[in-house]
Amino acid sequence: MSIASLSNSRLRAYGIGLAAVVLAVLPLVNDNAYLQNMAIMAFLLAVMASGWNIISGYTGYVSLGQSAFLGVGAYTTALISIHTGVSPLLAAPAGGVVAVASAVVLGLVGRRTRGIAFVIVSFAFLEFTALLVSNWGSLTNGNHGLALPLPTWDRAYLNWPFYYYLLVLLALTVWGSWAIRRSKFGIGLMAIRDDESKAEGIGLRTDRYKMLAFAASAFPIGIAGGVYAYYIAYLEPASMFDIVIAMQIVLAAHLGGVGTLWGPVLGAFLLEPLNQFTNQNLSGPDAGSWRMIIYGALLAAIVLFFPKGVLTEGAAWLARRRRTEPQATAGIRLTEVPDQLPPVSATRERASGVPLLRVDGLAKSFGGVRAVDDCSFTVERGSVTGLIGPNGSGKTTVFNLLDGSLTADGGSVHLGERRIDHLPRWQRAHSGLARTFQSTRVFPQLTALENLAVPSRTFSTAGLRTSAISGKEAAQAREWLAFVGMDAYADHHAGGLSYGQQKLIELAQALMLEPEILLLDEPAAGINPTLVERLAGIVRRLNEAGTTVVVVEHNMPLVLSLCDHIHVLAQGRVIASGPPGRIEHDPAVLDAYLGDHTPSPGNDPATSGAKA
């Protein structure tokens, strides 16, 4: 860590500590009820925005339904207090539990949606919850409202319990958000945000991660709802399940910085004066409409012009202005690939001649186009097998069917003795199949080391209690980075690396799964010849260690030099199979590439590098 960054960290810590002290002593030194009320409402909004940030900032599922958890928590706490006599401040955690249950419902309903579709689902959930509470009159008293008993403590200190309760809740929420962010669980959430399909393909149980994120997001909001219910002492569905509250939550997070730790908190404190102003100056039947217009316009402007948050983008702009040295990645050369083989855990005995992958009658159509048609082949354990063919022959589609990106219309896939074509993507990764992509897919907002923390062959809540990558896993990740020559980039964000460097990071990421079989989809595409040679050396050393490799590649000299066996596809089916020496002169292969053709010297697609 540089002196400048260390100094900034200390300044940030001092600033946070000073703010905490000021907020802690504020009621003791200033008895202004209006100021205390504004602080209480800012705490409430900060808790909600920080909770929203877990599911929307970390995971990328933008929700307009978070205020439903506030209402659910408020009504739960109020009903418990009314029917049992328990103080609402003691019953508030029960509101958090019921809010978690409602969040699970939202997660189940919206688990197959993303983007604008999930925004609509979350808004519909908010409206449904409001209608449910409104029409369940026997329990909630419906639109007539629900009154809570007034606090019993000395009126001179009326706001203190609410103030300190919400201040402590905010501190715990921020701490929880920080713990999630630095955990393996949090790294998984951010991988889902960057590329959910890729995250699942390298073994992440994205459904479980998202459910836990929904629960973690809703719990503090539900508790805050219980405290808020006692604070206002009167509940009605129209005010508790108001879309304007949902907009304020999203707006606060975007003011400070989406996906950051302190951004939602700062945004809430910046936004609360506007909330107080609109509450005091907008009245009458059109007040709700005007508030919606004001907050909607402000939110739209911020999302359009400052998508990462006003404070976040402002800080980034200042950092760019002050930067005088070149980017950290500029001018760094790739280190030589070390001579040693990969980590011992990935080394296997080679068993030549034994099929590891068996594909039988695989088929896939898109509309009326038959992309893969009765495709069958085997891959021997310990081999490097090429899959080639002209453009549109179905090579990448076959890979997509093998790793579960697509569902086959027919046929079967066996990995060893186990049939895997019916398994979800994450389970295929757990079974020993890993894959890289034609267009490199890394998680750009994570560091190279964090990218290697995402792959998983298990799911464990231990990830909630530990740092993102540590111990044995960290050592293994650094070994793989060193193996591909990228250990110098461990702490660099993947999005700032070159395309070729990202290729190597993606390869190391796949190797973290310790796969039995590795599928490489056009690994040499878009990279320079020097890096192609490096990549060839890496594949050879992996194969020496016992890893079975299947390569789809346009670079025919590379395929011929690497592969023990080659399958040729045309129109979705295998038309030729054999060793490289036979395939490069096979008339059926030449016809597939060039049509009816009698080979002549210098006109051989295999040796001239014709693209498949």
Per-residue pLDDT reduced to its tens digit, 18-54: 888 888 888 888 888 888 899 999 999 999 999 999 9
Domain count, the chain: 3
pLDDT > 60? residue 199: yes
Q: Which residue has the higher pLDDT, 470 or 590?
A: 590
Maximum average pLDDT range among 69-73, 111-115, 352-356:
69-73
Please give the residue range of the domain that contains residue 204. 31-319
What does the pLDDT read at residue 457? 58
Asked whether residue 390 falls in the same domain as residue 423, the answer is yes
In a domain, 247, yes or no: yes
Euclidean distance between CA atoms 68 and 65, whole angstroms: 6
Euclidean distance between CA atoms 72 and 102, whole angstroms: 8
Residue ending a domain, choose from 319, 342, 372: 319
pLDDT > 90? residue 337: no
**Maximal CA-CA distance, the chain:** 101
- Write the CB contacts of 300 (distance below 8 Å, at least 6 apart in sequence): none
- Write the CB contacts of 556 (distance below 8 Å, at least 6 apart in sequence): 388, 584, 605, 606, 607, 608, 609, 610
Asked whether residue 162 falls in the same domain as residue 46, the answer is yes
In a domain, 483, yes or no: no
pLDDT > 70? residue 154: no
pLDDT > 50? residue 608: no
In a domain, 559, yes or no: yes
Q: How many CA atoms lie within 13 A of 394 on its CB side?
A: 28
Give the CA dihedral 253, 254, 256, 258, nearest 10 degrees. Answer: 70
pLDDT > 50? residue 257: yes
- Residue 255 belongs to domain with CATH number: 1.10.3470
434-491 tens-digit pLDDT: 999 989 999 999 999 999 999 875 544 444 445 566 678 888 889 999 999 898 999 9
Asked whether residue 304 falls in the same domain as residue 427, the answer is no
Asked whether residue 310 falls in the same domain as residue 378, the answer is no
Percent of the chain with pLDDT over 90: 59
In a domain, 153, yes or no: yes
Asked whether residue 39 falls in the same domain as residue 4, the answer is no
Per-residue CA distances from 527 to 385, 445, 524, 531, 596 (Å): 21, 22, 6, 6, 32
pLDDT, average across residues 390-415: 93
In this structure, which long-range contacts are made by residues 440-444, counting pairs with CB atoms below 8 Å and at least 24 apart in sequence? 440/499, 440/502, 440/503, 440/506, 441/195, 441/198, 441/506, 442/494, 442/495, 442/502, 442/505, 442/506, 442/509, 443/190, 443/191, 443/194, 443/195, 443/198, 443/199, 443/494, 444/194, 444/493, 444/494, 444/495
What does the pLDDT read at residue 600? 42
- Residue 377 belongs to domain with CATH number: 3.40.50.300
Euclidean distance between CA atoms 575 and 426, whole angstroms: 31
236-255 tens-digit pLDDT: 998 899 999 999 999 999 99
Asked whether residue 242 falls in the same domain as residue 213, the answer is yes
pLDDT band at 548 (very low <50, low <70, confident <90, very high): very high
Asked whether residue 36 falls in the same domain as residue 24, the answer is no
What does the pLDDT read at residue 213? 95
Asked whether residue 277 falls in the same domain as residue 384, the answer is no
What does the pLDDT read at residue 325? 41
What does the pLDDT read at residue 358? 96
In a domain, 491, yes or no: no
Asked whether residue 196 falls in the same domain as residue 77, the answer is yes
In a domain, 481, yes or no: no
Give strand pairing partners of 377: 359
293-333 tens-digit pLDDT: 999 999 999 988 888 888 887 777 776 666 544 444 444 44
What does the pLDDT read at residue 156? 57
Percent of the chain with pLDDT over 70: 86
In a domain, 455, yes or no: no
Residue type, 596: D
Distance of CA 545 to the CA centre of its chain: 32
- Write the CB contacts of 388 (distance below 8 Å, at least 6 apart in sequence): 395, 552, 553, 556, 559, 566, 567, 568, 569, 583, 612
Asked whether residue 6 falls in the same domain as residue 104, the answer is no
Asked whether residue 373 falls in the same domain as residue 279, the answer is no
Asked whether residue 18 falls in the same domain as residue 51, the answer is no
Mean pLDDT of the chain: 86
What are the backbone dihedrals phi and psi of residue 361, each rounded to the nearest 5 degrees, phi first? 60, 35
Tell me the Cα Rg of the chain.
29
Sign of CA dihedral 320, 322, 325, 329: negative
- Write the CB contacts of 317 (distance below 8 Å, at least 6 apart in sequence): none
In a domain, 342, yes or no: no
What does the pLDDT read at residue 601? 42
Sign of CA dihedral 340, 345, 346, 348: positive
